[in-house]
Amino acid sequence: MAKQKRYTAEFKAKVALEAIREELTTAELSKKYEVHPTMINGWKRTAIAKMAQSFDAKPVGEPVISGKDVEKLHAKIGQLVVERDFLADALQAHSRDWRQKAVKKDHPKLSVRRQCTLLSLARSTLYYQPCGESAENLKFMKIIDEQFLKTPWYGSRQMARHMQREGHKCGRHRARRLMRLMRLVPIYQEPKTSKKNPEHKVYPYLLKDLPITRPNQVWCTDITYIRMQRGFLYLVAIMDWHSRKVLSWRLSNTMDAGFCVEALKEALATYGPPEIFNSDQGSQFTSTDFTDVLKDAKVKISMDGRGRWIDNRMIERLWRSLKYECVFLNTFETGREARQGIGTWIAYYNEERPHSSHGLMTPDEVYDNRKPNMKLAA
């Protein structure tokens, strides 16, 4: 077996900084530095966490330990040994994937070998390197994305048939995997279509028979896939349900909850809290990092239940317009180009583009309760 490659702290910091800048997709960074995407995502999360900790660090003096403290420590050690044995048995109930993710290759005290022993893992399972998406798969993702906007009721079977009729060798299982990667869920009732984290709390649906008649009564959110010249990024948006105004948005090359939390905090800071915040049961929106922000702002949390695909229609229409009027007309090569292009279009959508649900009024005018800016003909 080839010896595990080790990276210096300086190299990790350099790669993590590029990932945080989000100018390149994870696939492009992986190819540039010859590092697996999973490691890049881990370094990015570690860098962000340690940045925050560096501002909270406070110098402390040398601790003084008394005899009683020593006795307490011995007792604590005995207790920890018992608890360790208990947890070792309990860990067996978790899947191998969960235990693999628990291994920290840069742990300062425990070697990888020791961690694998504690987690009952074979070390060889950690070094499997999955391949990134091929050029053919990226081409198929582009075709599927465009077709899904035309026929949002297509599931994996129907999408595979469409691909085959167009002359592409794409089976149902490949179509299903790519659609899941792009977060494309067909609009028909089918149990368990969305992936949620079983450890996260799911909140009740609060919008049934609720008339939504004013701004800041209900906000909603969703994530979509944005194709790039090489690879793809993820876009999250926070929208006011009544006015259809996009309150904030973020792009990211990873699907963690961080960029969703940033967008939410920006919307709250700029527009104040809504009465209700509605989302699907995706793991980003059920995470405690996301829901704690809403709780701190005293916002009621609502989540779409099974079979409630229709409640996401507002923001799905936004994705359709964005892709047809912006993304499909441009070939973004970097994250900076994508941010600039999408930002320009969203400003146009909010300020100049009349929304069909409000006649001649733009989302900005409805949100601010302003009269439409009508120009007289010459």
Residue 5 DSSP symbol = P
Q: What is the pLDDT of residue 309?
A: 54
Q: What is the pLDDT of residue 114?
A: 82
Annotate 208-269 with DSSP letters as a single string. Answer: TT----STTSEEEEEEEEEE-SSSEEEEEEEEETTT--EEEEEEESS-SSHHHHHHHHHHHH
C-alpha radius of gyration, the chain, whole number: 24
Q: What is the pLDDT of residue 192?
A: 36
Q: What pLDDT digit, counting tens, does each position of 49-88 carry? A: 887 777 665 555 556 677 777 788 888 888 877 777 777 7
Answer yes or no: is pLDDT of 331 > 70: yes
Residue 364 near residue 240, CB atoms below 8 Å:
no
Quote the pTM value: 0.59
Q: What pLDDT digit, counting tens, does each position of 118-154 carry? A: 787 887 777 766 566 788 888 888 898 888 878 777 8
Residue 360 near residue 372, CB atoms below 8 Å:
yes
Range scoring the smallest mean pLDDT among 30-44, 55-69, 90-104: 55-69
Answer yes or no: is pLDDT of 243 > 70: yes
Q: What pLDDT digit, counting tens, does each position of 206-223 carry? A: 988 889 999 999 999 999
